[in-house]
Copies of this chain bind each other. A is one copy, B any other.
Amino acid sequence: MHKTLIDITNAATILKLLGDKTRLTMVKILDSHDCCVCEFVEIFKTSQPAISQHLRKLKDLGIVKETRRGQWIIYSLNKESEYYPLVQNILQHLPSQDFKLQELEKQGLRISCE
């Protein structure tokens, strides 16, 4: 099986970053659906700056990328990242978090960014 070896210092940095429940859940959600900031704000019931700061860290390491769509900024997993294989491997061990998006849809909050 192909495995890109990752320098242990960089690997520790990535794992530390993913070692936060909010960020780990974000990444798991992004694994199946792109999302904008406002959706995460609803999902995690925390402040918008807190969400932006988490996304910034993920973006700084190249784990996620952003695309502007009008006034919204859509985040997605960066599949070109050298860390993507590791991230994918980790995510396989986690249960789907899609129910969080489904709750949003029930409340009609997901549509806001589409």
Q: List A residues at the B interface (Cβ < 8 Å).
A: 3-9, 11-21, 24-25, 28, 85-86, 89-90, 92-95, 97
Pair B93/A85 contact, Cβ less than 8 Å: yes
Residue among A15, A16, A20 facing the most chain B CB atoms (10 A cut-off): A15
Pair B8/A15 contact, Cβ less than 8 Å: no
Pair A18/B19 contact, Cβ less than 8 Å: yes
Q: Determine the residue in chain B with the shortest Cβ distance to A5.
A: B95
Given the complex of chains A and B, what is the CA–CA distance between A33 and B25 in angstroms? 33
Given the complex of chains A and B, what is the CA–CA distance between A17 and B7 in angstroms? 17
Q: Determine the residue in chain B with the shortest Cβ distance to A9.
A: B21
Q: Can you list 19 A-B contacts (CB < 8 A)?
A: A3-B92, A3-B93, A4-B93, A5-B93, A5-B94, A6-B93, A7-B95, A8-B95, A11-B90, A12-B24, A14-B19, A15-B15, A15-B18, A15-B90, A16-B16, A16-B19, A19-B19, A89-B93, A90-B90
